[in-house]
């Protein structure tokens, strides 16, 4: 079964790594780029933001 990325979804990871989707925040966009998944990963004090082709709404 597939899953859909959406803001607030947490990914269960081990080893002190946390990951959460920050976008998409809605489900009715005219611009398909607004559906880009935005993922924040944190490991200790390091944080990474993966934004794909997110548009201004996600930024």
Each residue's pLDDT tens digit, 23-57: 998 888 888 888 889 999 999 999 999 998 887 77
Q: If we measure between CA atoms, which residue out of 36, 28, 29, 31 comes closest to residue 7?
A: 36
Would you place residue 1 in the very low, low, confident or very high pLDDT band (cuts 50, 70, 90)? Answer: low
Question: For the whole model, what pTM was predicted?
Answer: 0.82
Distance of CA 27 to the CA centre of its chain: 14
The reported pLDDT for the residue numbered 57 is 75
CA 32 to chain centre: 15
* Whole-angstrom distance, CA of residue 39 vs CA of residue 52: 9
Contact 37, 19 (CB under 8 A): no
**CA atoms of 43 and 13, how far apart (whole Å):** 11
């Amino acid at each position: 079964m597939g899953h859909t990325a959406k803001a607030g979804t947490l990914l269960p990871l081990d080893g002190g790594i946390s990951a959460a989707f920050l976008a998409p925040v809605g489900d009715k966009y005219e611009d398909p780029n607004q559906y880009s998944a935005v993922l924040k990963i944190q490991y200790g004090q390091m944080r990474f933001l993966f934004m794909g082709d997110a548009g201004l709404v996600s930024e």
